[in-house]
Amino acid sequence: MVSLNIKLAMLSTAVMMYTCHPITGSNPLHPLILVPGNGGNQLEARLTAEYKPTSLFCTRRHPARKDEDGWFRLWFDLSVLLAPYTQCFAHRMTLHYDAVLDDYRNTPGVETRVPHFGSTESLLYLNPRLKKITTYMESLVKSLEQIGYIDGKNLFGAPYDFRYGLAAEGHPCHVGSKLLQDLKILIEKASTSNEGKPVILVSHSLGGLFVLQLLNRNSPSWRQKYIKHFVALSAPWGGTVEEMLTFASGYSLGVPLVDPLLVREEQRSSESNLWLMPTPKAFGYKPLVITPNVTYTSQDIPQFLNDIGFQEGKIRYKSRILPLVEQLKAPEVPITCIIGTGVETPETLFYGEGGFDKQPEVVFGDGDGSVNMASLVAIESEWADEKNQTLKFIRVPGVSHTDILKDDDALGEIIGEICSINSQLVKIDFRMNSFTNEMIM
């Protein structure tokens, strides 16, 4: 038996359905491209004869499941949760900085590729064999399909190798620069195949930083022709304090079986992780990491990197990253930022006598659980006086960094905004769920 209160609640529940009503044309929607965040798409690898295993567990026979050309799933695979194989994973994911080339490269003997560029397929689940526990953009894509978007027709995905980032002008960045070029071509093709309509770019997290760089590295005339709107979800404009934890002590992403120290070196090697350090402009002189002897603010990131034993990162941060983040240039295209608020987010890290090999005591502040509020809203104040920059913020209380892609309230805001951008009426149908007599007995 279902109680009376529950029956009434069930009867009053409504399914919110958004319908973007067409004004003219058989395909009125602007094409839309999804750009995922850090770790937000599948990544595959293949081992060559040059590969040197770090242990007996990490031979070229692992994993056993490979395609006929030797490619296997690098991200995400459950073997990362098992300690011996965690080390294999970390070794194969590690990037290496080549001082002569002034650029990053894979571990020798490890080739990587990003499957399904141009499609949303790689963004739905991080592992299609584990859909329930690795779902990523599935809910968002289904919501877009509900209003008329079709994968490969007017809906596209731009997965990328999220380990790589971008660097300041004058420093080569082969993989990151290729992503920008591939994304530019995808934008142009999406527009051309949709009656010349400009494109809506929807990013999540780190993807927003890549999109902003793409826009600012192309001409105003190109942006005016090809970009309709930029919707940034949970964008870490000013980095995160959580990244300092990652570099200092390793970060297991909340997975209880993974020792953070086993993945720390791999996480430090990531070019994009270095890009996500808290920026001086967003965080100012607020204490972020406190030890018995030293307090570090965002102004002290080079010294912090040196003191945690990552001296080589100090040099790269100062030369490649700091000039890149010192100023966020307004791209002069309409931007909507949709962010979660009111979720406990690491704000200050306290380390005791055990040093950085121990996990710190954490004091939390406002944000979305991963990105601090100061970072989420960084461009709101920075671009306040930009006359040619249209900027809108939508705040969704209680929604975390990744839940923004699947929470009902957040999806309602995202789809509503996309309908509005398409310059069409937004119809919200409240349709009563139908229940059989048995269901409400």
Domains and CATH numbers, the chain: 22-33+155-423 (3.40.50.1820), 43-113 (no CATH)
- Catalytic site residue from 191, 205, 234, 400: 205
For residue 401, indicate whether it is catalytic: yes
Residue 428 pLDDT greater than 60, yes or no: no
| 182 in catalytic set | no
Cβ pair 334, 376 in contact under 8 A? no
Could you say which of 103, 368, 403, 407 is catalytic? 368
Long-range contact set of residues 85-90: C-beta below 8 Å, sequence gap at least 24: 85/57, 85/58, 86/258, 86/259, 86/262, 86/263, 87/54, 87/55, 87/57, 87/58, 87/262, 88/53, 88/54, 88/55, 88/57, 88/58, 88/62, 89/263, 89/266, 90/262, 90/263, 90/265, 90/266
pTM of this structure:
0.91
As a whole number of angstroms, the distance between CA 379 and CA 329 comes to 9
CA neighbours closer than 13 Å in the CB half-sphere of residue 222: 11
Please say if the pLDDT value at position 6 is more than 50.
no
Exactly one of 91, 401, 403, 407 is catalytic; name it.
401
Count of alpha carbons within 13 angstroms of residue 308, beta-carbon side: 29
Instruction: Give the model confidence (pLDDT) of 198-237 as tens digits.
Output: 999 999 999 999 999 999 999 999 999 999 999 999 999 9
- The three-class DSSP label of residue 237 is coil
Would you say residue 429 has pLDDT above 60?
no
Residue 358: both structure tokens together:
């121990």
Residue 262 confidence (pLDDT) above 80 = yes
Burial of 235 from C-beta contacts in 10 A (0-12 / 13-18 / 19+): buried
Radius of gyration of the chain (CA): 23
- So what's the pLDDT on residue 14? 33
Q: Tell me, yes or no, if 205 is annotated catalytic.
A: yes
pLDDT band per the 50, 70, 90 thresholds, residue 128: very high
